[in-house]
Amino acid sequence: MEAIVLKYEISPDDFTRAGEASSDVKNKLKQMGVAPEAVRKVAIAMYEGEINMVIHAKGGEITVTITPEKIVMELADVGPGIPDVELAMQAGYSTAPDEIRSLGFGAGMGLPNMKKYSDDMKIDTEVGVGTTITMVVNL
Amino acid sequence: MTVQELIDGKEYEVLNPGEDTGRRIETVFCCDLLSVAMGKAPADCAWVTVMGNMNTLAVAVLTEAACVILAEGTVLDETALKKAGEQGITVLRTEAPVFETAMEIYKML
């Protein structure tokens, strides 16, 4: 089987639409007959990433590559970058603004959840340039 | 207990009946912080919360919650209600507090 590639533009500051890309991927994976637990992992990991891109990075682009062995999600933005990745990975550490917190987000669980629900996660980030996060869920 | 059986019990106001009402509720989950719910809500749970916005619904869909029960008389705003309809998510509502609601549903499982 050839790899299937899905691409999504994530618009900035649009909280009502955040999650649409993840929902679309979820539905497509379901239709392809991917195991439900893997679908759930991809959906959660990608949604957290999508939300982060909306909150912190003025949107960006998500590329999802599906092969028989694994699903690779690449989330690329040209946002502010993460100055201290180790600190950002700590559960509870957050730089989200108050209006995001009032929606029930911004509790500093995004990156930890992404790590928890993916089998492999890599963060490439440079302050002032942007961040690319690659997450893999094995099938 | 299935989602339909929970609806048929008439204990809760139905804000949106949803599409997949034949699915079984396996457990009950309580949390209002969506960041935490995202990582912790078990699939097929009845999720009791006081957070009634669009993002609650997105989290419910992505974590595969069986249904959402809004406690403490929480309402869904119009946009969220529309989304619940579009996505076929079962959303119920009650005036009772979170703990009582969760316990009541847990006893019915």
CATH number at residue B58: 3.40.1390.20
Q: Is some CB atom of chain A closer than 8 A to the CB atom of B79?
A: yes
What residue of A is the nearest CA neighbor of B40? Answer: A113
Beta bridge partners of A74: A63, A134
Mark which residues 26-45 of B lie under 8 Å from A by CB: 32-39, 43
CA distance B71 to B82: 19
Residue A1: pLDDT over 70 = no
Comparing CA positions, the residue from A91, A96, A63 lying closest to residue A77 is A63
pLDDT in tens, chain B (109 residues): 999 999 999 999 999 999 999 999 999 999 999 989 998 999 999 999 999 998 999 999 999 999 999 999 999 988 899 999 999 999 999 999 999 999 999 999 9
Task: Dump pLDDT digits (tens) for A39-87.
Answer: 999 999 999 999 999 999 988 999 999 999 999 999 999 999 999 999 9
Q: Indicate the burial class of B65 (C-beta count within 10 angstroms; 0-12, 13-18, 19 or more).
A: buried
Domain, as residue range, for B47: 3-108
Share of chain B above pLDDT 90, in %: 91
- Give residue-wise pLDDT tens across range B80-93: 999 999 999 999 99
Q: What is the mean pLDDT of residues A25-37?
A: 94
Paired strand residues for A61: A9, A76
Q: What's this model's pTM, rounded to 2 decimal places?
A: 0.87
Contact predicate A67/A79, CB 8 Å? no
Q: What are phi and psi of B104, to 5 degrees?
A: -60, -45
Tokens of A138: 């094995």
CATH number at residue A81: 3.30.565.10
Cβ contacts of B87 on chain A, cutoff 8 Å: 23
Cα gap B77→A104, rounded to integer Å? 15
Interior angle at CA A16, CA A125 and CA B80, nearest 5: 145
Domains in chain A: how many in total? 1
Residue A7: how many other CB atoms lie within 10 Å: 11
Give the nearest partner residue to B38 out of A15, A16, A44, using CB atoms.
Answer: A44
Query: What is the per-residue pLDDT across B44-58, written as a single tens digit (0 to 9) for each?
Result: 999 999 999 989 999
In which domain, by residue range, is A27 found? 4-138
Q: Is A35 on the interface with B (CB under 8 A)?
A: no
Q: Please answer whether residues A77 and A59 qualify as being in contact, where contact means their C-beta atoms are separated by less than 8 angstroms.
A: yes
* pLDDT for residue A100: 87
Structural domains of chain B, count? 1
Check CB contact of A80 with chain B, cutoff 8 Å. Answer: no
